[in-house]
Amino acid sequence: MTHNTPLSPRPLRHLSEVHRRVLSAAQLRSHGVTTAELNERCRDGGPWRLLLPNVVLLHSGGPTSEERLHGALLYASRESTPGVPAQPRAGDPHRSPYPEAMITGLAALALYGFAAAPPLASADRVDVLVPRLRRLRSAGYVRVRRTAELPTAQAVSGVPVAPVRRALADAVARLTDADTVRLLLTEAVREGHCEPAALVRELNQARLLSRSHVVDAVESLVAEGRAAAEDRLYRLVGEHRLPDPVWNVDLRLPGGPYLGGVDAYWPEQAVAMELDTRAPHRDEDERWAEYTRKREHLERLGITVVHVTPRRLRESAEQQAAVVRTALMAAGDRDPAAYVVVLPR
């Protein structure tokens, strides 16, 4: 019997090609294969082989990368254990054939196309993400990762994959090479997979910011993310024909205290713009309180502060330009702002 031979009493025509080559023991039983028949076909030299516990490869050759991925998901899936078999349903594209399981870590990053991730063919491990309360152990080439709240999977090449931020955190948790960590994080930001602050927040939640090589990579990541956001801010001013501000300056009262730095300032209209590229830290509440105090102090002096994030600059530049233009136009209707000294940063 080959892997394409229909199994009685239910044929396999409704399954995709890879699902015909990799099936669980429960699924095989539902197709009429007895335990004795299964053991006979998976014996040494037999036509099938046991890929993982209760997961069978329906040919005797080595598994392909696709078969390894689907085997890992079948093993980790809630319905791959004895009970109701996990099978995709025709006409129901939103139902995952692998409930409560998704690929994460380096294998997920490879599926997303990360150049810094090793190719799937060379991966000796495949990480799968499952709910924390699942009773499931790592086995064979499958490494189980757990989470209190399972994120919404992304379908990549027909495979349910953890969101990039989570996949990166799971990958970084296993990596000790600083260069690899830095390359992965940098690629995630450069290719637009996620914002630096959101990525660092995920690493912080995974308790990875206590590792020195991760902290070093994050510092480079935040610096690069800020540089990219500043470049978008320069383009926003030029492309939307806003008046030229003075860039990257410190504000101070004459003979008085330091008020803080801003990314752009229009002295005649007393309008400041500040990029929020803060990365989460353990003292995040204190840092946010300090930022709020600075903003409130400037506004008490009559200076309008426009707060913008890198994501807004990238996704809604026209809207952000309109916010700045409105603030500049409204300057004539406000009371004159206090005089401040503007110094290069």
pLDDT tens sequence across 137-155: 999 999 999 999 999 999 9
User: Domain for residue 68, yes or no?
Assistant: yes
Over range 291-301, report the average pLDDT.
Answer: 86
Same-domain pairing of 32 and 164: yes
Among the three residues 129, 157, 174, which one is the final residue of a domain in this structure? Answer: 174
pLDDT tens sequence across 183-220: 999 999 888 888 787 888 899 999 999 899 999 898 88
What does the pLDDT read at residue 64? 93
CATH of the domain at 294: 3.40.960
User: Domain for residue 116, yes or no?
Assistant: yes
User: Domain for residue 214, yes or no?
Assistant: no
> What percent of the chain lies above the pLDDT cut of 70?
86
What does the pLDDT read at residue 288? 61
What does the pLDDT read at residue 191? 85
Among the three residues 174, 208, 243, which one is the final residue of a domain in this structure? Answer: 174
Strand, coil or helix: what is 115?
A: coil
Same-domain pairing of 264 and 116: no
Same-domain pairing of 24 and 170: yes
Same-domain pairing of 115 and 258: no
Over range 87-109, report the average pLDDT.
Answer: 73
Termini Cα distance of the chain: 75
Band of residue 286 on the pLDDT scale cut at 50, 70, 90: low
User: Domain for residue 198, yes or no?
Assistant: no
Over range 90-113, report the average pLDDT.
Answer: 81
Band of residue 1 on the pLDDT scale cut at 50, 70, 90: very low
Among the three residues 158, 174, 190, which one is the final residue of a domain in this structure? Answer: 174
Same-domain pairing of 137 and 240: no
Nearest to 239 by CA among 332, 328, 327, 322: 322
Q: Look up the pTM and report it.
A: 0.72
* Domains identified in the chain, total number: 2
How open is the CA angle 210-214-218, to the nearest 5 degrees?
110
Given a cut of 70, whether residue 287 has pLDDT beyond it is: no
Same-domain pairing of 259 and 162: no
User: Domain for residue 84, yes or no?
Assistant: yes
Residue 39 sits in which domain range? 17-174
What does the pLDDT read at residue 257? 86
User: Domain for residue 338, yes or no?
Assistant: yes
Do the beta carbons of residue 272 and residue 305 sit within 8 Å?
yes
User: Domain for residue 302, yes or no?
Assistant: yes
pLDDT tens sequence across 17-64: 667 789 999 889 988 899 999 999 999 989 999 999 999 999 988 999
Burial 48-63 (b: 16+ CB within 10 A, else e): bbbbbebbbbbeeeeb
User: Domain for residue 253, yes or no?
Assistant: yes
